[in-house]
Structure 1
Amino acid sequence: MRYRLLPGVRIEESPSGLFLTAERPYRVLRINQRLAELARRGRETAVEAVGPGEGKIWETLVTQGLARREEEETAAEMTLRPRVSVVIPVLDRAEDLRKCLESLQQLDYPQECLEIIVVDDGSRDASPQVALEFGARLVPSGGSGRGPAAARNRGVAVATGEILAFIDSDCTASPEWLNELLPSFAEPDVAAVGGWVDGMNSRRALDRYERVMSSLNLGGRERNGKDGNDTFYLPSCNLLVRRTAFAIVEGFREDLHVGEDVDLTWRLRDCAYRIIYLPRGRVCHNHRSRLWPFMKRRFDYGTSEGILQSLHPQRRKKMLLPPGLCVALLLLMIGLATLKPAVLGACGAVLLLDGLATHAKLRRRGLRQGWMAVFKARLRAFSSLAYYLGYHLLRYYLLPIILLGIALPQAGLVFLLLGLWVLGVDYRLRRPELSPPGFALFYLLEQLSYGCGVFVGCWRQKNFASYVFEF
């Protein structure tokens, strides 16, 4: 595995030590001499980690957003391919399954190292015949409508590969799917790797929305998780798992019909395994392109939160709340509600003091960062705080916010402005092929459906811990 520093990351020396600094996002990381030497080597060109110690250091920098992996296949890696078992659960999706199997025939991977297993969950259409037509191994799930978790487990029971590759029947794989994800298993503590989930269609407006906003798409930044109680997971429609690790956690929990992939990857992490998301290894998903199925699916996703919280009570959503920026945001909201210039001025003053305090703190460490660069970074942090707080309010409390806005128009104005900020940020970053009003409509329907699902799921479990954030 090879690594290099991201552009814009600098090594700075001061009387108080050595630091890695970056401007976007603004980061300052204290480092020791050994890490500084590694960083200098990786500043101009990609370098190979020598031993597990260096690999761990570079992985820390990747997690911090200061470095990136640059994987290059060696001659040995190209000749020694692991055997991969691709497991596909299906229920009444003959045409989708045909497209899926056609894409798997185009994989750039040795066919002798590949095993395709289709698990039929009681289909009444031609799905079994399609599987046999393409030479896949057809396995019955043992019932009808048992669910994708039970079907996947049944497929794994007959699989022979050391790597299990899960893809859904309504997905297609890119030719590079396996080659782009498999190298991560060179690290022995890696149990699961997930890849990019794209949209298959773009004809309908909802297709174009799902292409950039689907919860199956984890974004363009590499992520990994091991220790800790955060909620990072990998979706099962594009998931590779080490067979030995899958056996240790006893596979998917079959009583879950939604959230089974979240549960599996959390249990892998609980066993001290690492899971990795890479923005490559592309799979295209045939998203629901009609409004009611789209809303129902988001509602179903929401109901899984109560179940998952009961199964994993230690896991919490996390939100960083810097005191100064929180005070400034509260003053801004009060100022917008009351339209009092003095309150808005106080918000500006708090932001200025926060920037001065941050600049002084860096100076005490010996870092001579420009005042304006620090202040701009704090303004970006303030904007991010407003976005994340606004997003979670829309995600979990949209219906109460609408009712509150009707009862108290001044409060409604504040939440309206906060919601417009969240919508504007996501529209700018995701760049959907939609008009702003169309994007806003789907966005709000998604949040309303998901939030209602969360409440219903928590009510059923009599467990409302999903609404609790760790600060």
Structure 2
Amino acid sequence: MSAPTDVRLPTGFAASLSRRVKICDDGRSLVGGSAGSVLYLAPEAAALVRSDTVVADAGTAGTLARLLLDRGFADPSWSDPPGPDASVTDVTLVVPIQDRAVALGQLLAALPTQLPVVVVDDGSRSPHAVAAVCAAYGARLVSHSENRGPAAARNTGLRLVETPYVAFCDSDVVPEPGWLAVLRRHLDDPAVAVVAPRILGPLESAGDTWLERYEQARSSLDLGAEPAAVRVGGAVSYLPSACLVARVASLGSGFDEAMRVGEDVDLVWRLLADGWRVRYEPGAAVRHEHLARLGPWLARKSFYGTSAAPLAARHESAVAPMVLAPWSLVLMVSLLAQRRWSLPVGLAAAGVASAGVSRKLQRSEHPMRAAAVLTLEGAVATCWQTSAALTRHYWPLAVVAATLSPRARRALVAAAVVEGLADYRRTRPGLGPVPYVVAHRLDDLAYGSGLWLGAWRQRSVRALMPGLRGFRRSG
């Protein structure tokens, strides 16, 4: 279903500038946002952003707050606390499940008692255990005679929802107190279709294995500590369906039941294409039970990787492993070449890009400064993408190249070690650098294997193709 044409914010809805944003020219230009762009503001709007928070009204402030939220320059904010979860009365919870009755009991025990719950048993081998838990907590139970996948199970529950909003929770999560009230208030914005919390691992304990400690710091489901507008190619580009709260009217027929993995990413991208807004809110959190044994953990990571090919068939370049501007492609190639000319060519490419961007930023008082910021951010992103390409998406090709070329071997080893240590410093996990880097590389190898397996099954290399684009400039 397409988004409504009237998406004005309610009076009093506030938007606070993101920490990713730099205010320039006394508020007349903003640099950053969720996609690394520049936004120019009229004098009246510039005066409003100097306070960092814009409160929507029927005039300029409402228009500006809408713009800032949509472009990823601001996040919703509230002066009052959200209240208890028990105050939310217009949301129904849908839980898809196959067996896992004990985990279901833990989830239902953590929910506010007034919340209507629909549990969809998707072909459990022990359906009586699931039914007993549902009866104990007063949840409505619907059963599939055979397993049809989580997308179909969620859709079955969605069709039974009578409230305007629905929360999807997998059975292996336990919400933290306050999660629902925090997420629900995002839907006061009529343009928002879906909002998701931060998904954390279980609380640390002395008996945690190295793999559990890695997942606590680097789970594929944890999208970080910063709120964000979800957008393809942005700081947050998808949401996992382990926990989502959504506007029922926006979902249409719901998840694509042909997809056994990646159906959550597909739903989010379809909503964005239809004009809806999607939010990530780490101020709400749920705890997710991670796999603790190496074999199943690797299999799960590989399974995630197989989603790229069917997603590419539906959304094309949105799945690109790398997204490069022409100048950053030159920078990447020059660095990988490891020749005497590599550094000067890379610097020249960055200089040409910075000069080109500065010409587009003449409305700024300091166009070269703004261009330098964007170029530096692009160069850092290029280095990260190159490391990920060598160790994650294209590692089979990188390994073959490394057996044939000393330069390729040096590049692969440097990417594996330097990126791993940099990521270790960024995440600050509860384990040492060596086991962390080993786990990180195993994570990448498993995902990359799934990526190539999915491409082979799909008989398409679309999920492996990089994308090209230039700097974005918002008028």
With the shorter chain as reference, the TM-score category is 0.7 to 0.9
Counterpart code for 1:293: P
1:21-420 aligned within 5 A: 21=31, 28-40=38-50, 42-43=51-52, 46-51=53-58, 54-62=61-69, 66-72=73-79, 81-104=88-111, 107=112, 111-112=113-114, 114-125=115-126, 126-140=129-143, 142-202=144-204, 203-225=208-230, 232-246=237-251, 248=252, 250-313=253-316, 315-317=318-320, 321-335=324-338, 338=339, 342-343=340-341, 346-347=344-345, 350=348, 353=351, 357=355, 361=359, 365=363, 367-368=365-366, 378-379=375-376, 381-420=378-417
Task: Quote how far apart the aligned CAs of 1:230 are.
Answer: 11
Q: Which range moves more in the overlay, 18-27 or 438-447?
A: 18-27
Q: Which range moves more in the overlay, 309-318 or 189-198?
A: 309-318
> In the aligned structure 2, how far is the partner of 1:117 from the partner of 1:232?
29
Q: Could you report, residue by residue, the CA deviation over 1:175-231 in whole angstroms, capped at 9, with x for unpaired residues?
A: 111111111111212111111100025412212212232221222222224799999
Matched, 1:451 2:464: no
> In the aligned structure 1, how far is the partner of 2:448 from the partner of 2:330?
27
Q: Is the 8 A contact 2:358 2:371 kept in 1?
A: no
> In the aligned structure 1, how far is the partner of 2:146 from the partner of 2:358?
66
Q: Which has the higher contact order (CA 8 A, sep 6+)?
A: 2
What SS class does the counterpart of residue 229 from structure 2 fall into?
strand
Matched with 1:434 is 431
Q: Is the 8 A contact 2:231 2:237 kept in 1?
A: no
Over 3 Å counting, the alpha-carbon distance change for 1:55 and 1:196 in structure 2 is farther
Matched, 1:3 2:8: no
> In the aligned structure 2, how far is the partner of 1:410 from the partner of 1:211?
35
> In the aligned structure 2, how far is the partner of 1:276 from the partner of 1:23?
14
Percent identical residues: 30
Task: Quote how far apart the aligned CAs of 1:10 are.
Answer: 3.1
> 5+ unaligned residues in a row in structure 2: which ranges?
1-12, 469-475
Counterpart code for 2:168: F
Task: Quote how far apart the aligned CAs of 1:388 are.
Answer: 1.7
Q: Is the 8 A contact 1:231 1:316 kept in 2?
A: no
Q: How many residues align?
A: 450
Q: Could you report, residue by residue, the CA deviation over 1:326-384 in whole angstroms, capped at 9, with x for unpaired residues?
A: 4344333323xx5xxx435525753784598479759965624897x976875554233
> In the aligned structure 2, how far is the partner of 1:315 from the partner of 1:351?
26
- TM-score (norm: length of structure 1): 0.83
Q: Is the 8 A contact 1:227 1:272 kept in 2?
A: no
Over 3 Å counting, the alpha-carbon distance change for 1:447 and 1:320 in structure 2 is closer
What SS class does the counterpart of residue 69 from structure 1 fall into?
strand
Which residue among 453, 461, 465 is the counterpart of 2:462?
465
Q: Could you report, residue by residue, the CA deviation over 1:136-162 in whole angstroms, capped at 9, with x for unpaired residues?
A: 22221x213222222222222222221
- TM-score (norm: length of structure 2): 0.83
Over 3 Å counting, the alpha-carbon distance change for 1:101 and 1:77 in structure 2 is closer
- Structure that is richer in helix per residue: 1
Matched, 1:12 2:37: no
Q: Which range moves more in the overlay, 185-194 or 354-363?
A: 354-363
Q: Is the 8 A contact 1:230 1:315 kept in 2?
A: no
> 5+ unaligned residues in a row in structure 1: which ranges?
none
Q: Which range moves more in the overlay, 51-60 or 357-366?
A: 357-366
Over 3 Å counting, the alpha-carbon distance change for 1:344 and 1:189 in structure 2 is closer
Counterpart code for 1:136: A
Q: Could you report, residue by residue, the CA deviation over 1:53-111 in whole angstroms, capped at 9, with x for unpaired residues?
A: 6445334434656433312459999998451111111212122112111211xx4xxx4
Over 3 Å counting, the alpha-carbon distance change for 1:260 and 1:213 in structure 2 is same
> In the aligned structure 2, how far is the partner of 1:57 from the partner of 1:151?
40
Q: CA RMSD in A?
A: 3.6
